[in-house]
Amino acid sequence: MTIFNGTMVLDRYLSQNQSPKFLIFLYSPEDFDPLSQRQIVGMYEAMTWRVVQPNRLINLAALLRRPDEFFYWAGFGWRLALERVRNRPASNDILQFRTAHQGQYPIDAPTATECETMVRPPSVPNREWVAGLRSYNRDGTTVLVDSTPMAPCDPKLSYFQQKLPALVDNRFQTIPITAFTTEGRMHVNAIGSALLSNMVADQVLQHMSVDSTGRKP
């Protein structure tokens, strides 16, 4: 979403809701330079969201500036539409599960056992991008810019250990490879989700303690 739309989704939310007490930007290490990932990350959802926003003609024109991405988006959409015609509607059990869990489905992908060997494009953290995220630190909102942890075997671990600590607010660290799934880079499973949630929760609690006492615990 960020690669194609920047912070438009967040800006739309903030324009319609009260300012949150905490705003946490949690990105994978590569995504601190979003544009460097444009060629290897699918953007169908981001493009679809953009098209249905107000000023549709302007948004469609933005898509047409990159014909290759536009035709990818259009072709993928037609394929989904044809599959919907061919497939049976979702069962009541699935619909009830979706409603009860706010559209969240469990990840059934297998647990990862080794790190990927794919050679990814260079991604030097963009200081201007990070500074832009910190500009939301206003109106009573505390901004935290965090990086997701990596597996110890990740071939880019040492690179990001050097590049990220000075830019992010959390302690850049690792979690076991068994906390990830094979469904995409750095997608955590139930174990990893708990680890990651606790890391963020501890960080927020620490900041709340500082706010209440005026000093760090």
Question: Do residues 167 and 32 lie in contact, with contact meaning Cβ atoms separated by under 8 Å?
Answer: yes
Tell me which amino acid residue 110 is: P
Burial of residue 73 (CB within 10 Å: 0-12, 13-18, 19+) is buried
Question: Which of the four pLDDT bands, split at 50, 70 and 90, describes residue 216?
Answer: low
Query: What's the pLDDT band for 212 if we cut at 50, 70, 90?
Result: low
Exposed, middle or buried by CB within 10 Å (0-12, 13-18, 19+), for 182?
Answer: middle
Contacts of residue 209, Cβ cutoff 8 Å, sequence gap at least 6 = 216, 217
Q: Is 26 exposed, middle or buried (0-12, 13-18, 19+ CB in 10 A)?
A: middle
Least confident of 57-61, 149-153, 192-196: 57-61
Residue 94 clears pLDDT 70, i.e. is over it:
yes
Average pLDDT, the chain: 87
Q: Which residue has the higher pLDDT, 116 or 190?
A: 190
| pLDDT band for position 215 (cuts 50, 70, 90) | low
pLDDT of residue 102: 80
Confidence of residue 20 (pLDDT cuts 50, 70, 90): very high
Which pLDDT score, from 0 to 100, does residue 76 have?
84
Q: Are the C-beta atoms of residues 146 and 24 closer than 8 Å to each other?
A: yes
Predicted TM-score of the model (pTM): 0.82
Residue-wise pLDDT tens digits, 37-76: 887 888 888 888 888 888 888 888 888 888 888 888 888 8
| Distance separating alpha carbons of residues 173 and 156, to the nearest angstrom | 13
Helix, strand, coil percent content, the chain, rounded in steps of 5 = 50, 10, 40
Give tens-digit pLDDT for 96-144.
888 888 877 777 889 999 988 776 777 899 999 999 999 999 989 999 9
How many residues belong to the chain?
217
Residue 28 contacts residue 147 (beta carbons within 8 Å): yes
Could you give phi then psi for residue 185, rounded to 5 degrees? -70, 125
